[in-house]
Amino acid sequence: MTSPSAPRRPGVDALARIGHPVPAVDPADASPHAFPDGGTWRTEIPSVEGPEALAVVLKESSRRDVPIHRISQGSGIWMLTDVEITEMVEACAERDIELCLFTGPRGTWDIGAATRTDSGGAGLRSRGHDALAGCVEDAVRATELGVKCLLVADEGVLWTLHRMRVAGVLPADTTFKVSALIGPVNPASYAVYERLGADSLNIPSDLTTAHLTEIRRASRAPMDLYVEAPDDLGGYIRTYEAAELIRRGAPLYLKFGLSRSPGIYPYGAHLRDHTLTTARERVRRGRLALDLLARHGADGGMSPLGARLPGELQRFPVPEGD
């Protein structure tokens, strides 16, 4: 499913005409991995905070012909009613798109003062038993309503949910996605998250392409990366790197975020107009990235629409009796 010829690198032909040197591509940097369907990349529209925003995204993606493999939400399962979750599940099922919802209580929203200090404390991690239990409650509720992908922001929550999946408390085909706000930044930590049960991992958007290659030498677990990152993740816009990000990071989800935009978590009706406008613009940003890949002949290798499973991954053994 890869392109029959090497993609054209940005500006290389024009630079060659004036004799400007262009760094050579090292084939050894390329990822040897792919999704189980043979594809090297998929797409994701993040920050889709409810049925109304989802309807906007689906309409705009049809209008702009933007293929979507995954829709994700950031405010949390606990911020949605059963009716809203069901509506989102059904709308995504009609388009064969994976829906990923964020599990419950997290450190930046609880009473812990450390998250508001310059150090940031423990960040999004779930503090104490009650926060862990809240995430478990969210996971059970969402999967019972048909959600098949859960976003997590804590290593303990991830391991707990994975044990529940192994034990049959959660459906066996449930997938777990690690949040960018706790994303691993080195190959060893990436491999640990995979073994704790992660099926895809958001890495921070400021990792270099060399970092991606290093990670790929340690793990084949799918990687999620903002091509354009929200401001609270740095506001980076890496659209021109999309082909190289795929080449080095495959299997990779291209996430179309939005910089220079106020945060919307936790979402409510008071943020409606902004949320719908930015949802529409995220799809447009996706179209821009896909157009650039096509211009450079680097748009081959996309997974078939509807593909969602990560393939065989490495796990820590779950103790007997769990």
Lowest mean pLDDT among 42-56, 91-105, 234-248, 261-275: 261-275
- Position 191 pLDDT exceeds 50: yes
| pLDDT at residue number 201 | 97
Q: What distance in Å separates the CA atoms of residue 318 and residue 167, rounded to the nearest whole number?
A: 9
Average pLDDT over residues 41-68: 97
- Position 248 pLDDT exceeds 80: yes
- The DSSP bridge partners found for residue 150 are 101, 176
Q: What distance in Å separates the CA atoms of residue 270 and residue 17, rounded to the nearest whole number?
A: 54
By the 10 Å C-beta count (0-12 exposed, 13-18 middle, 19+ buried), 7 is classed as: buried
Q: Are 53 and 276 in contact (CB under 8 A)?
A: yes
Q: Are 226 and 259 in contact (CB under 8 A)?
A: no
Which numeric CATH code is attached to 30-295? Answer: 3.20.20.70
* Cα 67 off chain centre by: 15
| pLDDT at residue number 207 | 95
pLDDT tens, position by position, 202-211: 999 999 999 9
Nearest Cα to Cα of residue 76 among 266, 242, 256, 221:
266
- Position 181 pLDDT exceeds 70: yes
Q: What distance in Å separates the CA atoms of residue 120 and residue 108, rounded to the nearest whole number?
A: 9
pLDDT, the chain, mean: 92
Torsion, Cα of 258, 264, 265, 270 (10° steps): -160
Split at pLDDT 50, 70, 90, the class of 228 is: very high
More confident position, 316 or 9: 316
Strands of the chain (E only): list them.
41-45, 70-72, 98-102, 149-152, 175-178, 200-202, 223-228, 252-256
Average pLDDT over residues 87-102: 98
Average pLDDT over residues 76-80: 94
Task: Sketch the domain layout of the chain as residue ranges.
Answer: 30-295
Split at pLDDT 50, 70, 90, the class of 223 is: very high
Instruction: State the CB neighbour count (10 A cutoff) for residue 318.
Output: 14
pLDDT tens, position by position, 108-144: 777 776 666 666 666 677 888 999 999 999 999 999 9
Length of the chain: 322
Q: What distance in Å separates the CA atoms of residue 151 and residue 201, rounded to the nearest whole number?
A: 10
| pLDDT at residue number 262 | 79
Split at pLDDT 50, 70, 90, the class of 107 is: low
